[in-house]
Amino acid sequence: MASSNSSNVWRNIPSERLFWLAGGSGSSSSAQKVIEAQGRSCGTVLCLEELDAAAHLRLSLPFFADSLLGAVHLYGPLGIDTILDFCTYLRTTMQEVDPKDFVCLTCSRRPGAVPNSLLLLGAFLILEQKWSAEEVACLLNQEGGRISPVELRFPTPFTAKPHFTADSLSLEDCLRGLETAVTKGWLDRSQEKERRATAAAFDAVPVFSVALDSPNFEHMASIRFWIAADPVTTVEDSSKRPDPIRKCPTAHVLTTDSPSTISTNPDSFFSIPKSVSDPGATLSPMSARSMHSIVCLYKSLSHIHTMDDDGMPSATPKQVWRQRAKHLERKLGQPRAGFFAEKPAVLPTKVHKTDGTQSVQRPADLPAFANFLKDELGCSLLVRGNHGNERGLPAGGSYQDFFQRWGVKQLDVPFADGTAPPSRLVSDLIAAVETLLKDISTKEEEKQVKKHHSGHYSVVVHCKSGLGRSMSLLAALAVALCPGLTAGAFFGWARLVRPACLQTPPQERFLRSLDEERDAVCSCLFACFGKPRTQMSGKHLLGRTQQKL
């Protein structure tokens, strides 16, 4: 290798007939020389920066100009759409190449090219070749030139110059997030066309799901959590806000003026407050009977949701969050809300194309969006994280109580754009979702013959653009509801499924903080309940990787 350029870095994967090279201009000729010096026969060279299937290793968003994206336009990470397109392209290419020849992936070392090319390679190994994220991460430490740690991180979105902190997203986060999405069934490639069409028309994508595990269910019910932008920024005409048409005299439509909007029945989902910013809004306590009916839910929601001697949940997601927040406040010596309240720069607002190039028709008005929520998603709760009169919203502001009147339950958890959610709002949101899970489990047990959307339900969380505040709220929900999920893995998956989300350092810090005290808090909870905590093994699975290499 003495003849090769010293700035080249490469990784050789003989078991998969793949060779990755970064250096020079990323041209085919330089890649041919390097791979031949390794004693390999090169069947074809894919210059990723020239490849449409790799989106030229540049991130683009449908509602934001590349200039607004700032540094992440070059640095990424690339979105899940590009990743899946590349995996399909590379699989087809390898089938056409002679089985004895290698396929070489090459790129230059310009900013962002190395981590995004490695992300595409790692995604192919995870999705197509069934590697684990840890096995892919081991490739980074092999011989073939040193890759700088800075080259394996992704900057904060919407900054003109690349801005890195200790909390910045890493390539390993993305790989672990992708593996998590596959393992938990969040990434369903059979519904890829529908997901892309929904994202293009309604600016909404599914992020994660939670299974409602009960021995009394004929079929497994689940609830899917979506992220979206404020509907008034998505529809073509946000000024049309009529009341729904009553189809029969007995039909009951929720209105904010009706005292039945929030019921006093403790077993009813309508006990969820319309807005947690209202000091007088409280959640009705859970009765013993209703708690008993959802004991099975908490067995699968988190590894620290243990059961007491009576078979009742010892720790619910809301209690988990409260313990974490209190522990962090004691350690940091200041309220959690204040710690994350740093004022960010003004963030851009999405803009729809007006040149006629948009191929998918947007919903005409808010009633059309309401029908989408009810009929297509089976939306059980719509969570709004933005204020109703923020800058960047259309004339008339947000939708106020429009969807509540159309039969979609609303919950307001507003906080400032660019900041992380205060712990009080997160706690109330988790409590509201717990109440929803109880309501769904009751429905599923009582109406097995006629299910609502075949046992599937959804929660839609949005802010103004559906990038920062809404994903922060979903991160807290995911960590509280999904067993064994780390915030780092969710961070990686979030940036893939919703590119450029989590827009500011305070929001990145919020994500990382969900992991920092995880072990200490879990140990504290187990000690309180008198149950030992099993220590997780730190053994690395290197055997398969060594065999492959």
One DSSP character per residue, 253-303 reads: ---TTSGGGS---TTSGGGS-SBTTSTT--PPPPPHHHHHHTHHHHHHH-T
CA distance 354 to 85: 27
The pLDDT of residue 34: 74
The pLDDT of residue 256: 37
| Cα-trace Rg, the chain | 25
Strands 379-384 and 456-463: parallel
Tokens 């809301």 sit on residue: 318
One DSSP character per residue, 328-393 reads: HHHHHTS-HHHHT-PPPPPPP------SS---SPPPSBHHHHHHIIIIIS-EEEEEE-S-TT-TTS
Higher pLDDT, 475 or 29: 475
**Cβ–Cβ < 8 Å for 228, 217:** no
**pLDDT at 533 exceeding the cut of 50:** no
Average pLDDT of the residues in 30-41? 73
Least confident of 64-68, 94-98, 419-423: 64-68
164-205 pLDDT per residue, tens: 999 999 999 999 999 999 999 999 999 999 999 999 999 999
Q: What is the mean pLDDT of the chain?
A: 76
The pLDDT of residue 288: 42
Phi and psi of 157, rounded to 5°?
A: -65, 160
Q: Which residues are paired to 379 by β-bridges?
A: 458
The pLDDT of residue 10: 87
Give all domains of the chain, ordered by start, each with its CATH number.
Answer: 9-181 (3.90.190.10), 205-347+361-485 (no CATH)
Least confident of 40-49, 173-182, 293-302: 293-302
448-497 pLDDT per residue, tens: 545 444 557 899 999 999 999 999 999 999 999 988 899 999 999 999 99
**pLDDT at 375 exceeding the cut of 80:** yes
**pLDDT at 379 exceeding the cut of 50:** yes
306-362 pLDDT per residue, tens: 455 555 555 566 666 666 666 555 554 444 444 444 444 567 666 765 444 455 688
> 66-80, 268-282, 338-352 — which one is most confidently predicted on average?
66-80
119-143 pLDDT per residue, tens: 999 999 999 999 999 999 998 888 7
- Strand, helix or coil for residue 207: strand
**pLDDT at 147 exceeding the cut of 70:** yes
**Cβ–Cβ < 8 Å for 420, 503:** no
CA distance 304 to 519: 11
Average pLDDT of the residues in 57-76? 87
**Cβ–Cβ < 8 Å for 113, 107:** yes
For the purposes of burial, counting CB atoms within 10 Å of the CB of 4, is it exposed (0-12), middle (13-18) or buried (19 or more)?
middle
Q: Model-level pTM?
A: 0.77
Average pLDDT of the residues in 222-245? 92
Please measure the distance between the N-terminal and C-terminal CA atoms of the chain and give it in whole angstroms: 19
Confidence of residue 40 (pLDDT cuts 50, 70, 90): confident
Residue 361 contacts by C-beta under 8 Å, 6 or more apart in sequence?
A: 201
The pLDDT of residue 353: 56
Q: Which residues are paired to 449 by β-bridges?
A: none
Instruction: Give the other-Cβ count within 10 Å of 371's Cβ.
Output: 13
**Cβ–Cβ < 8 Å for 215, 192:** no
The pLDDT of residue 276: 42
495-507 pLDDT per residue, tens: 999 999 999 999 9
Confidence of residue 392 (pLDDT cuts 50, 70, 90): confident
**Cβ–Cβ < 8 Å for 100, 156:** no
Go through 204-239 and write b for each residue having 16 or more CB atoms within 10 A of its CB, e for each that does not: bbbbbbbbbbbeebeeebbbbbbbbbbbbbbbeebe
**117: closest CA among 246, 244, 260, 21?**
21
**pLDDT at 544 exceeding the cut of 70:** no
Rounded to 5°, the CA angle 412-452-398 comes to 25
The pLDDT of residue 437: 86
- Strand, helix or coil for residue 39: coil
